[in-house]
Structure 1
Amino acid sequence: MALAKLGAVVLDCPDPRALAAFYAEVLGGTVEGDGEWAELKAGDGRSLAFQAAPGHVSPKWPAPDNSQQFHLDLVVDDLDTAEQGVLALGARTLDAEDRSRTWRVYADPAGHPFCLCAC
């Protein structure tokens, strides 16, 4: 028997509303909240939340002397199309040189790493 259920994954960032808007464009859904806390409510009932963190320092990737802390794997149908979309929204490439792989690594506008993964 489980002791708890997962409510939301929360990302620290300098601007919760702006980062929630970025992920809303990538994943769909609606953004709620403002100020210190914003939450992306996806159409499937899942949520991703964003919390203001003054002095936020982005994780480094790859960096053997620093932890990336976590990353999101986002499943897509077409890597090239998804890549064009996330770059247009403000993501930056961290590791997408190997075009033969079924995944590519990016950083969101606040510097959190995420992967686009082909189905």
Structure 2
Amino acid sequence: MAIATLGPVALDCPDPRSLADFYARVLGGKVEGAADADWIDLTLDDGARLAFQLAPGHVPPQWPRPDRSQQFHLDLEVPAGEMDAAQEQVIAWGAKLLDDGGGTRSWRVFADPAGHPFCLCAC
């Protein structure tokens, strides 16, 4: 029996508002919080939430490096036929392609503008 429910997944970053805006472009939803706040929420249309917390000394993970572990990552699903367009869009919004698998697999690894790894996964 569960004793809790999952609240927002919080990402440390140097600029909470800009990272919230990046994920709002990718996932949709509503960004809440003052532009200069230390904590910004993104509430998605299905009620799921991401939060972005100011971390002045933020050191981004590096993928794949065991000494700078990714710690966690987000898998974001996109329709299989839209993978290339989704890749172009997230890069235009500030993501960096880390690994496309040579075009032979159904997922690609990126870093968001603050350096957190995430995958676009064909569904």
Q: What TM-score comes out, normalization by structure 1 length? A: 0.97
Deviations 1:34-62 (A, max 9, x none): 31000111111111000000110000100
How far did 1:66 drift?
2.6
**Residue of structure 1 equivalent to 2:19:** 19
The residue aligned with 1:57 is 59
Find the counterpart in structure 2 of residue 39 from structure 1. Answer: 41
Deviation (angstroms), 1:25: 0.2
Structure 2: distance between partners of 1:82 and 1:30: 20
- Provide the aligned length of Structure 1 versus Structure 2: 119
Name the residue aligned to 1:80: 84
Moved beyond 4 Å, runs of 4+: none
SS in 2 for 1:17: helix
**Secondary structure, counterpart of 2:103 in structure 1:** coil
**Structure 2, unaligned runs of 5 or more:** none
TM (norm. structure 2) is 0.94
- Within the candidate set 99, 105, 117, 2:103 is matched to 99
